[in-house]
Structure 1
Amino acid sequence: MSILRAKCPTCRAYTAVAVGPGYECHACGRTFAAGLVRVPRAWGDGGEEMVEAAGLALDYPEASVVEEDSLVAQTLAVASDLPEVPLVLGGCCCSHVGAVEGLAARHERLGVVWLDAHGDLNTPGTSPSGNQWGMPLRILRSRPGRSPSPPPASTTTPTGCSDRSPPCTWPSTATCSTPTS
Structure 2
Amino acid sequence: MKVCKDVVVTLAYQVKNEDGQMVDESTKDAPLQYLHGHNNLIVGLEAALEGREQGETFDVTVAPEEAYGDYHDAMVQRVPADVFQGVDEIVVGMRFLADTDQGPIPVEVTEVDGDEVVVDGNHMLAGQTLTFSVEVMEMRQATEDEVAHGHIHQEGGSCGSNNDEGCCGDGSCSS
- TM score, norm. by length of structure 1: 0.26
Structure with larger RCO (C-alpha < 8 A, sep 6+): 2
Over alpha carbons, which structure has the higher Rg? 2
- TM score, norm. by length of structure 2: 0.26
- Report the structure, 1 or 2, having the larger helix content: 1
